Copies of this chain bind each other. A is one copy, B any other.
Amino acid sequence: MSQQERAIRTRELILEAAGEVFAERGYDGATISDVYSRAGLTKGAFYFHFASKEELAEAILEVQVGSGAYPVVRRTLKLQELVDAGFVFGHRLMYDRMLQGSVGLSLERGAHQLDRRRPFLAWVDHNLAALTEASEQGELYGYADLRATAELLVGAFSGIQMLSHVLADRRDLTERLSVLLAQVLPSVAVPGVLAQLDLSADRGERVLAEAEALAAAQAGGTA
């Protein structure tokens, strides 16, 4: 393992441990020594990567954003891609402690000065881009308000995952997402598109497996 690879791996170890600690204790309750102890690292190794708890929390918030959070498998229907991103995120949130910690931080009030808006805004942008493409392909009604829908989906998703967390330790998260999409999308998608959408609760698990198989095949092809 090269020095660079080792640094990347150490950073990942810290982030995984930090996600768990934030998920369990919240931002205010978590300490830096909780994090490096759990990761099995020294204080020095920690501070090589992060200068403060705040910087660490910002990196954790970032794991909700970008292609790592919602790997995309291209579909003919852009609305299915939007749905897939939501289900993959929801599925991962059911077991990925780092993602749970990240979502917890973005929901948490408290003494910290973190910019909690970024994950929400990134998801709004992502949804808006997907809805715009879907609209250009004729998948949506012409009168659909794309921005309002993009923001509604982000807000409503945040709430149903929280309700699922409080009531069922997130076990029914993707079932609740299925209900949300089935009730919201008919207001924007034309019937012929709706009929083709897969909104089943296990969609995320299947798409994630597909994305991983594709990534493995690509890695094999370029090796």
This chain's copy number in the assembly: 2
Interchain CB contact (< 8 A) of A159 among B109, B158, B167, B184: B158
Complex CA gap A21/B161 in Å reads 27
Interface mask (A136-172 → B, CB under 8 Å = 1, otherwise 0): 0000000001001101101111111111101100000
Stretch from A42-50, A74-82, A175-183, A212-220 forming part of the interface with B: A175-183
Tell whether A117 is near chain B: CB-to-CB under 8 Å: yes
Interface size on A, residues (CB 8 A): 42
Complex CA gap A110/B186 in Å reads 38
Interchain CB contact (< 8 A) of A164 among B104, B155, B157: B155
Chain B positions within 8 Å of A155 at CB level:
156, 159-160, 162-164, 176, 180
Query: Is A163 a contact partner of B151 (Cβ separation < 8 A)?
Result: yes
Known: A159-B157, A160-B152, A176-B155. A166 touches B29 (CB 8 A): no
Chain A contact residues: over half helix, strand or loop, or mixed? helix
Beyond the given A117-B167, A121-B167, could you list 18 further A-B residue pairs with CB under 8 A, ordered by the A residue number?
Answer: A26-B28, A29-B111, A104-B109, A107-B109, A116-B166, A117-B166, A120-B167, A151-B163, A154-B159, A155-B164, A155-B180, A156-B180, A158-B158, A158-B163, A159-B159, A183-B187, A184-B184, A186-B186
